[in-house]
Structure 1
């Protein structure tokens, strides 16, 4: 593929109650992080540090420098607010308490 052919990609980000999936073109050789920063996400979600947020492609975490391929979906991940194990413990304890009453 010639290096000047634009790549059609998507960039996705979600928050509780709001999600965005942006489809656009980037230059061949664009990295995953560059695509996120070139998207409209930093403008739509100014409170998020898109320069440092973890990213992935189709559910698999990747390095910032990962070059994109046509059709890739770059996903921006948020930090977990609570440890999943702790959350399961709390739910189990609440269920046991409810069943005991």
Structure 2
């Protein structure tokens, strides 16, 4: 009889995070964990051929073998590519602000 391990499967939505804790046999894969979690039925927009997957923020494939206490993460597609947005801002001459920015004037001293 195969040893059991516990794994979390996570899908983050804009307003909440779905976390499902499941038990699997040793040697189970990312695909088996996702199928067992029930998230594919609950969220039909998840497409395993398009959505990226990770274990503790490291990208993995469906056939990756899991270990006890792993956290499988299903990532939603990006709405906008961050690199493209930065290029567009640069082309338009906009400056990204950090903190107060350089345009803040120092208070006058008497």
Question: What range describes the TM-score normalised by the shorter chain of this pair?
Answer: 0.7 to 0.9
Distance 1:14 1:5 in 2: 29
Q: Does 1:14 align with 2:16?
A: no
Larger Rg: 2
Give TM-score scaled by structure 1 length: 0.78
- Select the residue among 73, 98, 106 that pairs with 1:75: 73
Distance 1:58 1:70 in 2: 13
Q: How many residues are treated as equivalent by the alignment?
A: 94
Specify every segment of 5 or more residues in structure 1 that has no aligned partner in the other structure, as ranges. none
Which residue number in structure 1 is paired with residue 82 of structure 2?
A: 84
Distance 1:94 1:12 in 2: 39
Q: Does 1:48 align with 2:49?
A: no
Q: Does 1:24 align with 2:22?
A: yes
Distance 2:59 2:66 in 1: 13
Distance 2:70 2:25 in 1: 13
Specify every segment of 5 or more residues in structure 2 that has no aligned partner in the other structure, as ranges. 96-102, 104-110
Give RMSD over aligned pairs. Answer: 2.2
Distance 1:6 1:33 in 2: 17
Distance 2:21 2:93 in 1: 42
Q: Is the 8 A contact 1:33 1:55 kept in 2?
A: no
- The SS at the match of 2:77 is coil
